[in-house]
Structure 1
Amino acid sequence: MGNTFFTMKVGISNDELWKFLIMPFMSGLVGYGTNWLALKMTFYPLEFVGLELVRFRDQPLGLFGWQGIIPTKAAKMAGDATDLMTSKLINVKQVFSRLEPEKFSAVMEPGLITMMDTIINETAKKYMPTIWEFLPEGVRDECVLKALEESPKFLTGFMDDVKEHIDDIFDLKTMVIEHCVANKQLLNNVFMNCGDKEFVFIERSGFYFGFLFGLIQMGIYFAYTASWVLPAFGFLVGIATNWIALKIIFLPIEPKKLCFGQCLEFQGLFLKRQDAVSEVFAKVNTQQILTTENMWTAILTGPKKDNFFDLLRAHTLIFTENLAGGLKPVVVAGVGAEKFTQMKDEIAQRTMDELPNNIHYSYEYSTQALDMERTICKAMKGLSSAEFEGVLHPVFEEDEFKLILVGGVLGAGVGVVQLFALF
C-alpha cells in the first residue's frame, strides 16, 4: 500500500510538479509580504482608520480598524524616550549652564533697540504727551540710550536666574510628548531613521526564511496532501519569519563567540550599529524635536510658564526702576507721582510682553551653546549594550505578539489562496 502511494507520487506529471516546485518561492513571498506589512502597520496609519466601535485605550486594534502602533502610543513612547534621554544622555540644567549671559545679551541687542525705542516713545506720549513733545530730541534719545545701557545688565541677571532655575521653568518631557502627539510622524521619523537598516533586513529576511520553510512545506505536502497543510504552513511562515527577524535584530545583547575551528563573533544587528545609530538619533531628535525654538516656546507657553514670567517680572521691575530713575523728578513734577508709577508699571509690563517676541534673535547662538546634538550623540555611544537596546526595542516589545500574530493570520490567508489557485 505504502509502495503504491510512493509510486503515484513519483509519477506525477510535469504540470503537477511545477506546482510543488513553486511552493518555496510562494512561501518566500508570503514571508516577505507579511514582514513588510507588519512594519507598515507598526508606523501607519497615523490616525485610526476604520469603524471605532470598540477599541481599548492605547491599543492599535479596534473591532473594525487599525492605527499604527507607534502613533497609537505616541504619548507613552515619547515619554519613555525623554526619560531615557534625561536619565542616560543629558542633564538639562548642565546643558543650559553653557549659555553665557553676556553673549546672550549681545545677540539680543538688535531686537532690544527697536523694542525699547517703541515702548519708551509710546508710553511717554500716553502719560505725558505735552512734556515729551517739548523735550529736546537729544533728551528723548538719551532716554532710549539709557534703556539700552541698562539692558545688558537686565538680560545678564535674568539669564543667570534662568540657568539656575531651568528645572522650575522648563518641562522637557511635556514638550516632547505634546510635539509627538500633535505630529505623530515626528516619532516615526526618529525610529525609522535609527532602524532603517534593521527594517530592510526584516523585509528581506522574510523571503529567505520563508523560502526555507517552503522547502519543508513542499516536502510535507508532497507526502501528505491534506487541505489544511498549506494554510497551516502559511500561518507558521508568517509567525516564524517575523519572530526570527525580530530576535536576530536585538539578540544577543552582548557579543557572543561561536567557535568551529575559527571563532566568529555575533551580536544583535541593531546593537552592532551603536555608533551609527547614536549619530542618527541625536541628529533627528535635535533637528525635529529638541530644537531651540521648540524649547523656548515650551518655556514661554508650557505648564511652568508662570514661574518663568514671575522670574522675568522680578528682573523687569528692577530694570524699569533703573531706567526711569533719571527721569523721575521731571516726570513727577509734570504729571504727578501716581502717573509716574503707572507709566513705570506699563513700561515694565510691555517689556515683559514684548521680550518673548524678540527671543528668536537668540536661537542661533543658543543652538551652538547648548550643543545638544553632540552631547546626546557622545552619551549614547557610551551606553552599555543593554541600555542601548532600550532605544529601539520598545517599539516592538510591547506589541511584538500582535505583529507576529498578524503575520501568521496573513500567511494563513495566503495559504488558502495558494491551495485553491494551485490545487
Structure 2
Amino acid sequence: GDSDRLWLYLVMPFMSATVGWLTNVLALKMTFYPVEFIGIKLWQPKNQPLGLFGWQGILPAKAAVMASKSVKLLTQELDVNAVFSNINPDEFAQQMGPGILVMMDEIVRKVARRHLPLGMWDKIPEDVQIEIIIKTVDDAPSILSKVLMKVKDNIEDVLDLEHMVVTAMVANKQLMIDIFIAVGTKEIIFIERSGFVLGFLFGIIQAVIWYFYQENEWIVFYVGGFIVGFATNWIALKIIFLPIGEYNICGFKIQGLFLKRQDEVSRVFAQQNASKVLTPTAFWNAILTGPNKDNFNDLLEKSISSFLDKMLGHLETSVNRYFGKTEYQNVKDDIAQQIIAALPAHVHHSYNYMEKALDLETNLREKMQALTKAKFERVLHPVFEEDELKLIIVGAVLGFLVGVFQNAVMFV
C-alpha cells in the first residue's frame, strides 16, 4: 500500500537531488578534463571534444579557439602601445648592466678575432684588450637604450601578442584550464550546489507524479532522471550569465551571478594573466623567437649600425679605409648578430624592472572593471556558450542513466 511506499516517496527528492548534483559535477569535469583525448582515437573532429572513440575536455579540445577569443578581449581593452610606453629605456639598460659586461666581453673578442688580421687581437696586450672591452661596455647601455626606444615605438611590429598567447595556451592547456577555473570558481561551485537544490525540488514533483501514476514507475525514473539532468544544467548556466543587465523585481535585484562579481573577477583575471601569461619572459621570448622576430632583428641591426657610425664620428672614414666599406658593414652586421644571439641568455636581468614598469595586473584589472556588462560577460561565457547544448545533453544523458540505476535499486 501507500504506507509501505512512504519511505520511497520521502527518499525520492534526496535521490533526485543526488542526480542533479552528480550530473552537474560530471558535466563540469567533462568541460575541463581530460586535458588530452582519452580513448581509442580513430577520429576526432578539429576543435571538438567527442571522437571515435573517446572524449577530450571541451575547453582543451578548443584551446586555440578559446585562447584566440581571450586574447581578442585583452587586445581590445589593453592598449599595448600605452603599456609599453611606461618602460624607461635608460632604466632598462641600467638593469641589464650585469649581463652587458659578460655579453660585450664575449662579443668584442669574437668579432675582433673574426675581422682583424689573423692573430692580431691576441697580440694586443691584455690590459689594452680589457680597456677596449670596458669602452664597449660603457657604450653598450646607450645601444640598448636606443634599441628599446625603437621597440617601444614599434611594439606591434615586433610583438605578435595573439600568437604569443594562443601558442602558450595550446602548448599548455592546463594553464588555460587553471585560469578559467580561477576566474569562475564561484560559478563552478554554484553549478554543483544548484544541481542538488534544483534536483531536490524536481524530486518532490517526481514523487507527486509517481504517487498518482504508479503503473509504469520506470517512466517516472527514466524520464525524471533525464529531465533533472537536463534542467539542472540548463537553469544553472542561465542563472550565471543572465540577465546581463540588473533588474529590480519586487524589491529583489536580479542579475547574472557572474556579472555581479565584475570587480572580483577582474582582479582574479588580471592577476592570473599577468603572472602566468603576460610575463616579461613571455614577451621577450615572443620578440626574440616569435613570427615577428625578423622585424626585431632588422630594427636591432639598424640601431647598432647607426650607433656605431655616430660613435666613430670623424674616424668613420679611416675605419672604412682600413676595413673596406663592405667589410666594415660586415663588422656592424656581425656585432648585431652576436647581440641577437646573446640577448636571450642575459635579458632576464630586466624582468623585475619590466614587471614593475608595465604593471599589467593593475592596467588589466582597471580595464576589466570598466567594461560594460555585455562585454564583461564575454570573459567566461564563451567557455560554455559554444557547447552549452552539449553540456546540457551530457547532463540529460547522465541523468537518464542514473534514473535507470535508481529504478533498479529501488525495485530489485
User: Is TM more than 0.5 here?
Assistant: yes
For 1:254, the equivalent position in structure 2 comes to 245
For 1:73, the equivalent position in structure 2 comes to 62
* Deviation of 1:302 (Å): 0.9
CA distance in 2, matches of 1:328, 1:129: 23
For 1:239, the equivalent position in structure 2 comes to 230
For 2:2, the equivalent position in structure 1 comes to 12
**Residue from 58, 72, 79 that aligns with 2:47:** 58
Instruction: Say if 1:248 and 1:269, in contact at 8 Å, map to a contact too.
Output: yes
For 1:369, the equivalent position in structure 2 comes to 357
What does residue range 150-299 of structure 1 map to in structure 2 within 5 Å?
A: 150-225=139-214, 226=216, 227-259=218-250, 263-299=251-287
Instruction: Say if 1:253 and 1:389, in contact at 8 Å, map to a contact too.
Output: yes
For 1:117, the equivalent position in structure 2 comes to 105
Change (3 A) 1:128 1:91: same
For 1:90, the equivalent position in structure 2 comes to 78
CA distance in 2, matches of 1:69, 1:136: 67
Instruction: Say if 2:301 and 2:336, in contact at 8 Å, map to a contact too.
Output: yes
* Deviation of 1:321 (Å): 4.4
CA distance in 2, matches of 1:264, 1:401: 29
Q: Deviations over 1:140-170 (max 9, x none)?
A: 2331122123222212221111111111111
SS at the partner of 1:257?
A: strand
For 2:394, the equivalent position in structure 1 comes to 406
SS at the partner of 1:228?
A: helix
Instruction: Say if 1:147 and 1:323, in contact at 8 Å, map to a contact too.
Output: no
Q: Deviations over 1:364-404 (max 9, x none)?
A: 11111111110000010111111111111111111111111
SS at the partner of 1:390?
A: helix
* Deviation of 1:57 (Å): 2.2
CA distance in 1, matches of 2:336, 2:317: 15
* Deviation of 1:352 (Å): 3.0
Letter in 1 for 2:243: P
Instruction: Say if 1:146 and 1:323, in contact at 8 Å, map to a contact too.
Output: no
Instruction: Provide the aligned length of Structure 1 versus Structure 2.
Output: 407
CA distance in 2, matches of 1:135, 1:123: 14
For 1:6, the equivalent position in structure 2 comes to none
* Deviation of 1:32 (Å): 0.1
CA distance in 2, matches of 1:41, 1:345: 54
TM-score (norm 2): 0.93
Instruction: Say if 2:300 and 2:336, in contact at 8 Å, map to a contact too.
Output: no
CA distance in 2, matches of 1:313, 1:340: 13
Sequence identity (%): 49
Q: Deviations over 1:42-77 (max 9, x none)?
A: 100111112233433211112421111110111011
For 2:306, the equivalent position in structure 1 comes to 318
* Deviation of 1:255 (Å): 1.2
Letter in 2 for 1:218: A
Q: Deviations over 1:202-229 (max 9, x none)?
A: 1011011101110111111121121212
CA distance in 1, matches of 2:336, 2:65: 41
* Deviation of 1:131 (Å): 3.9
TM-score (norm 1): 0.90
**Residue from 84, 91, 97 that aligns with 1:103:** 91
CA distance in 1, matches of 2:320, 2:372: 67
Structure having the higher Rg: 1
**Residue from 127, 131, 143 that aligns with 1:142:** 131
Structure 2 gaps of 5+ residues are none
CA distance in 2, matches of 1:164, 1:69: 40
